[in-house]
Amino acid sequence: MVEQLKNTINSKLVAAIPSTVFGQDRVNYIIEKFNVFVSEDRALFLQFFNRVLTNMVERESSDIEIGGYASDGYIWMRTYGKKERIKDLPKLTLDEAAILIINLLNENQRRYLTVTRSLDFSYTYLHERKGQNQRFRCTVYFDLDNVCLNMRSISTTLRPIESFEFHPNVLRSLSHTYIKFGLTLITGITGSGKSSTLDAIIDMHNKIDPAHIVIIASPLEFVHRSNVAIIKHREVGRDVLSFKDGVVQALRQDPDIIIIGEMRDPDTIMAALEVTDTGHKVFSTLHTSSAVESIDRIIAEVHPSEQDRVRNRLADVLTCVVSQKLVPTINGKITLAKEVLLVNASVKAAIKNNNTSEIYMMINQGAQVGMLTLEQDLKRLYSMKKISLETAIAYSNNKTRMQQILTAV
């Protein structure tokens, strides 16, 4: 198959590319001439590509990298946190990789890529051995003028909410049946499992809560089937133009719970606060590594003239912040470490008075009500011999505090 694929790519297109065309113009040329490949050719490309993805799934890898200058012709995968070149898979030239990537896109997406130089989308294929669809979150972008692709595997099974070991007070805060409105933030760096946590929360409601859930994401990852709840999925760029538009439009769709995939800009932040103000339960994510940083980030994202208003509004609607990291275990896998903030009267006052630096100690002293610092959770994992001492220190946000509580063991 590999030889046939390479021969098809080179004979039908690559050999015809003028030697004077290079860089991004070369990618544009490939996109413009891509229709030289007939349906049989494209089916061959997809067959090879899906075999590579099957290899990825069998390895239990989370991410795959294809194409671009940095890949050096190899296909790379991240397995249990380590990203490595896969030497037992065929090497691809820059042009071969570009054609395989472009083959995944429709004509509108190809045009969009030539203008914006980056494209997010989702991809699904049938994993034959498992007999089920496997979904991926995908990003096409450029690396030194060459097109490349990252794909992240989306779990086909939902992690039960019980496995997160949340305190009962935290579960009550997350539950729409217990608290009908408020903003909950799930935060962490890229690849820290935020989407999996959100999906577990959605699934919890889908089992027991006759509610209307609207998910706004870019791109959509796990697709939920309506059970007790009715769940609508709206992908930014396909079903709605932007996160902000999705949030505003959701108000006219009779929602109970709104899931905002990411609060990535001031407009989305303001829309999220406003829709929470109207009495809805809202869940969203931020790329921050602690609860305090999450609060500070939201306030800092808006114009200085708006910050006092946003600070007061955030204090009124924020109910819970879960900040999480995936950390390597002693047995070579990964586990979840989390920080949990429950917003009580003291936390609200600290936010309104711009004293967010006091919130860490409030979390530290709030274990009885369900609060937990990241350092406390890392200590728990270390005490259970799940992670090493070095890992506990390396993944802590407050290394001085981490050293203190470890020496207190």
Residue extents of the structural domains in the chain: 2-154, 161-407
Contact 79, 114 (CB under 8 A): no
What's residue 108's pLDDT? 84
pLDDT by residue (tens digit) across 247-270?
Answer: 999 999 999 999 999 998 899 999
What's residue 296's pLDDT? 95
How would residue 404 be classed by pLDDT, with cut points 50, 70 and 90?
confident
Tell me: pLDDT of 409 over 60: no
Spacing of C-alpha 300 from chain mean position: 22
Q: Would you identify the CATH topology of the domain 161-407?
A: Rossmann fold (3.40.50)
How would residue 407 be classed by pLDDT, with cut points 50, 70 and 90?
confident
pLDDT by residue (tens digit) across 163-205?
Answer: 999 999 999 999 999 999 999 999 999 888 899 999 999 999 9
Domain 2-154, CATH class in plain words = alpha beta
Query: 């049938």: which residue's tokens?
Result: 126
Tell me: pLDDT of 309 over 80: yes
Residues with Cβ within 8 Å of residue 11, at least 6 apart in sequence: none
| H helix intervals, 22-144 | 24-32, 39-58, 94-102, 107-116
Tell me: pLDDT of 241 over 90: no
d(CA 263, CA 238): 18
What's residue 236's pLDDT? 86
Which residue type, as a one-letter code, is found at position 94?
Answer: L
pLDDT by residue (tens digit) across 104-139?
Answer: 998 888 988 988 889 888 898 888 887 788 889 899
Supply the mean pLDDT for the chain: 92
Strands of the sheet with 132-143, listed across from one edge: 82-86, 75-79, 61-67, 146-154, 132-143, 119-127
Tell me: pLDDT of 156 over 80: no
d(CA 205, CA 195): 16
Spacing of C-alpha 357 from chain mean position: 27
Tell me: pLDDT of 88 over 70: yes
- Please state the pTM of the whole predicted model: 0.80
pLDDT by residue (tens digit) across 24-81?
Answer: 889 999 999 999 999 999 999 999 999 999 999 999 999 999 999 999 999 999 998 8
Tell me: pLDDT of 408 over 80: no
Q: Tokens standing for 395?
A: 């993944």
Q: Tokens standing for 88?
A: 């037992």
For range 374-398, the mean pLDDT: 94
**Selection from 217, 53, 221 nearest residue 127 by Cα:** 53
66 against 236, higher pLDDT: 66
d(CA 92, CA 4): 13
Type and span of the H or E element at 119 = strand 119-127
For range 400-405, the mean pLDDT: 88
| Total Cβ atoms within 10 A of residue 328 | 18
DSSP 236: B
